[in-house]
Structure 1
Amino acid sequence: MTMRQPELTVRPLRAEEWEPWYGTVDVAFGGTPEPPEERALWRELTEVERSLAICEGDRIVGGGGIFSLRLAVPGGAVLPVAGVTMVGVLPTHRRRGALTALMRRQLDDVRAAGEAVAALTASEPAIYGRFGYGAATRKAAVSLLRGRVRVRVPEQRGEVVLRLADPVAELPRCEELYARLVARRPGGLARRPGWEQVAVLDAPESRGGFSPLQCVLAEDAASGELLGYARYAVKGEFDERGAAGTVRVRTVQAEQPWVYARLWEFLLDLDLTVRVEAASLPVDDPLLHLVSDVRHLTPRLVDALYVRLVDLPAALVARSYAAPVDVVLEVTDAFCPWNAGRWRLTAAPGGPVSCVRTGDPAELDLDVRELGSVYLGGGSLVALAAAGLVREVRPGALEPAAAAFRSALEPWLPHGF
């Protein structure tokens, strides 16, 4: 006789349940517990009122949460966005519809909260496409050999002094600079209080043999104004030829191109090192144009942020467009049917944007997942059409729409959540 499995239910998390709830996430992601510093920070940042538990009876067997994030979109607006996070189910309870039920409840709650967009970073990209999430940003991981490339520093507009500093002590000044830069590139996260600690999280157990986090400041020689900064760590190693250390770059931020180049010049000339690695740069990062030989970057492109339009017209109106567009979109959305149907999107650069339901004939046919993929200005509707994921119903409609959705800079997620 086959025993009937108990029903799984989804309900709001209670504050006193955080430890067992988060413990299921640890197990779902392999069972290796995080260092205490990391676990404490995520406990502090967890929005219990936006978290859900998957239960078998009274026992928590999975769950998911939402961070109330603010995301930069094309045109410089910063939108409230539901950052989906900590999604996991115990391996003994998979294939029972738990994730589908969680996604259903989450997206209904996001819609009720008035957020037009949800976003996540996917541990397994194949999972979330069926819930309408499209890959909206990519990142480049690069590795450079010291001495094989030089950095060309553009004409300087002043004198800069580089100074090593405590990354935690200088965090407020660095955050002011970070905040000024967020809206320049779609995908940037405007950090709410507490989130600045993610930038300097440095648990010894997570260093993998690297040094504690280092911080170099680029300051104006006359005024002391902070012009840029870089955070990095160094792994000291030696082989039969001598020093063979590695520099691991966490972030480089600067408003002026020459300051940005000067910081990279510093990172590529640290004593006792032979390699510089950066795991996450924009795919159009200035470094690609500053190095003397781009072949030595050996970049590897990786998917990063996935975007889901929850309130389609509100989301499309919230961003700007790079070219005039007047197009009727036939959108399919099996998981959030309120988005399905025909929408006329009308916009001009710097002008008002309109997205309204229409009975006019469709000109482009696509799934909401593909709209999520191009929402932040990356990718291309033309490329998606070449893959058979967008259909041009009216000849000539595709290329103008693709041009309108593009951003001048490739979108990029500065850190995970």
Structure 2
Amino acid sequence: MNPGELRARGTDVAVVTEPDLVREAYAVFKRAMVGLEFGPFDPVDVSEPGRFLAAFDGEQVVGSANSYATQLTVPGGARVPHAAVSQVGVLPTHRRRGVVTALMRTQLAAAAAAGESVATLRASEGGIYGRFGYGIASHVRSARIDTRTARFVDDGPGPGSVRLADDGGVAVMAPIAARAAQNGAVSRAHVWWRKWELRAAEYKSPSYLVVHSTDGVDDGYAMYRPLDTAGWFTSDDKTIEVNELVALNPGAHRGLWRHLLELDLVDTVTVGTLALDDPLPLLFVDERAVTLGPVRDESWLRLTDVAAALAARTYGDAAPVHLAVHDRLLPQNDGVYRIGADGAVRVAADTPAAVTVSVSDLAATYLGGTRWWRLAAAGRIDVADPAAVARLDRLFRVDREPYAGVFF
């Protein structure tokens, strides 16, 4: 990411590379998050050089925003250059002074200049990022499984095998995670794995890793740990928490869940994030063995280069639609785009548009997680040709709900 500066309401924003300034910016983020726990790592060791932004009030660092150079898998399977945005925060003494706006403007402009056509983040608050062109592109939910009632529909073993790999760590997980290619998947930077190692070393309870293989090839893994270890042997609800489960195919998905649900001494298995269409409940004779949590947002997505992002994904079979896009922060994205089964291209700005959309609402539809008819029903898009909305839904249709499955 190229260094850049912006001045807004007396706030200077610049890339920081000096270790002490990186640490100071990270400390601002920690202070802004109030209740989050952080590992004992040095942020210099888990940041990519040239990507940490700091906002200054005079000599004082008052805001921060970081990102990682990764890739995002989009409909059709292409992996596009992507900024994984993290560690956005402002000191409570400097709220509502345009600090976040200055940080976001700088970061988005730099991402676009670097050829990163999309960015995603995980939002601590829901009302902040829409005004910067982000839209909710994927959703997740938690699950709680009662092992005493979770009887598998298929009682036979699958074609693969599961092995214990507690000492394998990143060396085992990273090659598997790198092959994850579901719609919405985010690749993991090497510093992400370093941060994971440092946090894992601080776990107070045991942590376990199992790996699934098919025909000798690793194709999935699950990390889990027990909860309430102090009262483990007296508890009548011994629970394990699945911190992460990556399955590259249905066989690995079934094999890993079978292993987890058949562990001795375990009454309940919980998992924090599942894709909305994860087939987990359908593995069991009684689907009520799985209690699904409320739906919540996962990936907030921003198109920094609309033309490149639209051209990168594939589309369904429908007549083309001329779509007008408005982008207040990155006006170079303003324009009309022809979207059809053969792809997406920018056309003359005076081409009549059937539908007009903000860049944030376009982002919500980009991975197929939000339907165009819903945007129309909510009055979020301007529709000149009502028939075009149904065509857009067919064009943007995806077979699986988008899901990143990783926090950064």
Segment of structure 1 superposing worse, 362-371 or 245-254: 245-254
Letter in 1 for 2:320: D
Partner of 1:229: 221
The alignment of Structure 1 onto Structure 2 pairs a total of residues equal to: 397
Report how far residue 238 of structure 1 moved: 5.0
Partner of 2:373: 382
Report how far residue 406 of structure 1 moved: 2.0
Is the 8 Å Cα contact of residues 117 and 306 (structure 2) preserved in structure 1?
A: yes
Partner of 1:309: 303
Is the 8 Å Cα contact of residues 11 and 102 (structure 2) preserved in structure 1?
A: no
Report how far residue 59 of structure 1 moved: 1.2
Distance 1:241 1:53 in 2: 50
Letter in 1 for 2:192: W
Partner of 1:364: 355
Is the 8 Å Cα contact of residues 65 and 89 (structure 2) preserved in structure 1?
A: yes
Partner of 2:119: 118
How large is the Cα RMSD of the aligned pairs? 2.5
Question: Do the aligned partners of residues 317 and 398 (structure 1) sit closer, same or farther apart at CA in structure 2, a change above 3 Å counting?
Answer: same
Q: The residue matched to 2:386 in structure 1 has which SS?
A: coil
Letter in 2 for 1:146: T
Q: What pairs up with 1:261-340 in 2 under 5 angstroms?
A: 261-299=254-292, 300-340=294-334
Distance 1:92 1:126 in 2: 20
Q: 2:286 aligned with 1:260, yes or no?
A: no
Question: Normalization by structure 2: what TM-score?
Answer: 0.89
Identity of aligned residues (%): 36
Question: Do the aligned partners of residues 201 and 377 (structure 1) sit closer, same or farther apart at CA in structure 2, a change above 3 Å counting?
Answer: farther
Report how far residue 7 of structure 1 moved: 2.7
Question: Normalization by structure 1: what TM-score?
Answer: 0.87
Q: What pairs up with 1:12-411 in 2 under 5 angstroms?
A: 12-16=15-19, 17-30=21-34, 34-36=38-40, 39-40=41-42, 42-153=43-154, 158=159, 160-167=160-167, 169=168, 171-180=170-179, 182-183=180-181, 185-197=182-194, 202-203=199-200, 205=202, 207=203, 211-220=205-214, 224-235=216-227, 236=229, 238=231, 242-299=235-292, 300-348=294-342, 352-411=343-402
In structure 1, list runs of 5 or more residues that go unmatched. 1-5
Q: The residue matched to 1:403 in structure 2 has which SS?
A: helix
Report how far residue 89 of structure 1 moved: 0.8
Distance 1:268 1:157 in 2: 14
In structure 2, list runs of 5 or more residues that go unmatched. 1-8
Segment of structure 1 superposing worse, 24-33 or 361-370: 24-33
Per-residue CA deviation, residues 263-299 of structure 1 (Å, 9 max, x unaligned), is 2122122222221110011111121321333334222
Per-residue CA deviation, residues 305-357 of structure 1 (Å, 9 max, x unaligned), is 11111111111001111323411112222222222233222333xxx543333
Distance 2:177 2:78 in 1: 16
Distance 1:113 1:240 in 2: 54
Q: The residue matched to 1:414 in structure 2 has which SS?
A: coil
Distance 1:154 1:391 in 2: 52
Distance 1:110 1:170 in 2: 31
Is the 8 Å Cα contact of residues 244 and 272 (structure 1) preserved in structure 2?
A: no
Q: The residue matched to 1:171 in structure 2 has which SS?
A: helix
